[in-house]
Structure 1
Amino acid sequence: MKFSIEVNRGSILDLINLAEENNLKINSISQGPINEEMMNIKIDLADSSKIQDLDNFVKKIVDSNSMNSCERI
């Protein structure tokens, strides 16, 4: 499953650690700037990921900063 994540003042390492905390395996991950404060991170998670783990992952991303967004692509 692929997600596009827009984060404010986060890092790619934070998302890797968050995925590991939620028992998610990352197939690939890339990042690019949006502006000085925001970056876009595209993350491809293994299809074997459980829905509950994915829901927790997305919720933690959005809850960590009101500027963050996460959507499936």
Structure 2
Amino acid sequence: MLKKIWHFYRDGFRAMVLGRTLWKIVLIKVAVLLALANFILPDYLNRNFNTAQQRAAHVLDNLTPPGSASGQ
């Protein structure tokens, strides 16, 4: 069963012409986004807050509209 699935995908990717180029573009974009996230963007929460509770409170305060955390 797994061998049949593998052959299906392998043969499908071999037959692609435009699809290969598009997959390469997608993989390059993913690599660039991961590089940005890991090396360029600062780690704001770990640098500015010491505990997980402080980080969670900061995220809750900044990502939820006022009044939603209290059940209103």
Normalised TM-score (structure 2): 0.26
Name which one, 1 or 2, has greater alpha-carbon Rg: 2
Normalised TM-score (structure 1): 0.26
Instruction: Compare the two structures and name the one with the higher helix fraction.
Output: 2
Higher relative contact order (CA 8 A, sep 6+): 1
Instruction: Compare the two structures and name the one with the higher strand fraction.
Output: 1
